[in-house]
Homo-oligomer: A and B are copies of this chain.
Amino acid sequence: MQLFFAEHLPDQGRLTLNDEESKHCKVLRKQIGDQIQLIDGQGHLATASICQIQPKFELEVLNKTYHAPPRAYAFHLYVAPTKQNDRIEWLLEKAIEAGLDSFTLIQTERSEKHSVKLERLHKVALSAIKQSHQWHLPKIHTMQPLKSIGMPNHALVAHCETDAQKQPFLKAVSHLGSNEVNVFIGPEGDFTVGEIDWFKSKGAQFVSLGESRLRTETAGIYCAMALNAGSPFFT
């Protein structure tokens, strides 16, 4: 099933596809009268019939249904961008496949990358939900300095410093008493000791992600997949 995207899906009546999705429809040689399926990234799935193909594709919505979020928890990931764009894009794609609700880029003391093309990340996210047949597009937030972020309750922080206070990730999640899971992951060089102290002062908890060193992007995907697989134990 091929899915198309439209930011606003009317319950009925007409809508015009944007340039990107029109192009996509054209490449697939869709014709007047063909039916396609659309998502709005907010839980809706619609079936629509093509009624015009030039200059843009216009559609008539035939029906529209709402799908509730499929998971019993929400996963919010805060991560410093990797030096290589493809690694952060890969993280975003795989985290979405496993389940992600929001993605916030953070600027940390050891960050080597100070800007990321949000538009590109949006494309990756959209393609990931289409591919994995999900109806909810995670929110992607622009980069913010770490200490300017309003610290969520019970944040979990993955760092590589030796710390007796670390709990295995899913154990920590199972003790949260909340289905909102907020995870912070540092840059390639890790959070600094100062940043770790700052997290401590904000009441964050420290978690371990297994016994071997994980790259930034691997750590993010580890959390997404562990939450998905572990949810029968903690929700």
Contact = CB atoms under 8 A, between A and B. Distances in A.
Contact of A170 (B169, B218, B230): B230
Interface stretch (A6-14, A32-40, A111-119, A205-213): A205-213
Contacts of A168: 229, 231-232
A107 interface: no
Nearest to A231: B168
A214 interface: yes
Interface residues of A, number: 32
Contact of A211 (B71, B215, B221, B233): B71
A139 interface: no
Interface in A175-212: 209-212
Given A221-B221, A229-B209, A229-B230, A214 B170 contact: no
Contact of A213 (B94, B99, B132, B232): B132
A232 B97 contact: no
Contact of A229 (B99, B215, B222): B222
A124 interface: no
A232 B229 CA distance: 13
A228 B232 contact: no
B225 A230 contact: no
Question: Which interface residue of A209, A214, A218, A228 has the most chain B CB atoms within 10 A?
Answer: A228
Contacts of A222: 98, 225, 228-229
Contact of A221 (B134, B210, B213, B225): B225
A210 B99 contact: yes
A171 B232 contact: yes
A97 to B, nearest CB: 6
